[in-house]
Amino acid sequence: MHISDGIIQTPVCLAAHAVCAAAIYISGRNTEQEDIPKMGMTGAALFTASLIHFPFAGTSIHLGLFGLAGIILGRRAFPVIYAALFLQSLIFQHGGLLTLGVNALNMGAGAWGAWLLWRVKRLPESLRAPSAGFLGILIPALLMAFEFNFSGYGKGIFYLLTIYLAVAVIESGITFSAVRFFRKVKADILP
């Protein structure tokens, strides 16, 4: 899901960096002191999850945990995702520095979508949690497929969506399990 440098046109990447700067400011301002440990732990979980790769359908996949980040951090998930992606691009070359803004917007949109779904209290938590995990992966995958298509990589890139649908199903189960675990062990971590 990490887009490497050279795929998306440079002006689009620069515009994405500008939007990221605004999103980081808006979502990070007025951060409460008690939110900082949650942000750090969630960032560490996102970073660690990206290190564990599974072979699947001729490629390699890893968990993103964007839905879980959206549930735990809400709007504060975006700066955490940006920081994790920045470190991943520097240390492991997951994506590139030029496309960091595009990648952060894609994956941050997944977390924000999950957060918005999580806030719909009339749905039972047992439905919201797995749906948020599913949406946390589906949104970035859709955005990436459209960006590849827009950049001239053809419609074959939509094949990747079938792979990410499987990842989204796995993420929905993990998010559901994590929310149940947090409810039993440390309920105050969940809003």
At 142-162, the pLDDT tens digits run 998 888 888 877 666 777 788
Mean pLDDT calculated for residue range 107-130: 96
What contacts 24+ positions apart, CB below 8 Å, involve 166-170?
Answer: 166/56, 166/57, 166/61, 167/56, 167/61, 167/63, 167/64, 167/137, 167/141, 168/133, 168/134, 168/135, 168/136, 168/137, 168/138, 168/141, 169/134, 170/63
Q: What is the CATH number of the domain that holds 105?
A: 1.10.1760.20
More confident position, 154 or 136: 136
Is residue 18 one of the residues assigned to a domain? Answer: yes
In a domain, 119, yes or no: yes
| 62 domain-assigned | yes
Cβ neighbors of 189 (< 8 A, separation 6 or more) are 38, 72, 182
Report d(CA 114, CA 121) in Å as an integer. Answer: 13
Give the domain range for residue 33: 10-189
Tell which residue, 177, 134, 166, 131, has the closest CA to residue 57.
166
Q: What is the pLDDT of residues 17-68, one digit of tens each?
A: 999 999 999 998 989 998 999 999 999 999 999 888 888 777 778 889 999 9
133, 139, 140, 141 alpha-carbon torsion, rounded to 10°: 100
186: which 2 tokens?
């440390």
Average pLDDT, the chain: 90
Number of independent structural domains in the chain = 1
Q: Let me know if residue 5 belongs to a domain.
A: no
Q: What local confidence, expressed as pLDDT, does residue 155 receive?
A: 65
45 within a domain of the structure (yes/no): yes
- Look at residue 3 in the predicted model and tell me its pLDDT: 82
Whether 94 shows a pLDDT value over 90: the answer reads: no
- 110 inside domain: yes
Mean pLDDT along residues 174-180: 96
Domain contains 177: yes
State pTM to two decimals: 0.90
| Residues 87/130, Cβ–Cβ less than 8 Å | no
Asked, for residue 3, whether it belongs to a domain, the answer is: no
pLDDT for res 154? 66
Residue 147, pLDDT score: 85
pLDDT band at 178 (very low <50, low <70, confident <90, very high): very high
pLDDT band of residue 96 (cuts 50, 70, 90) is confident
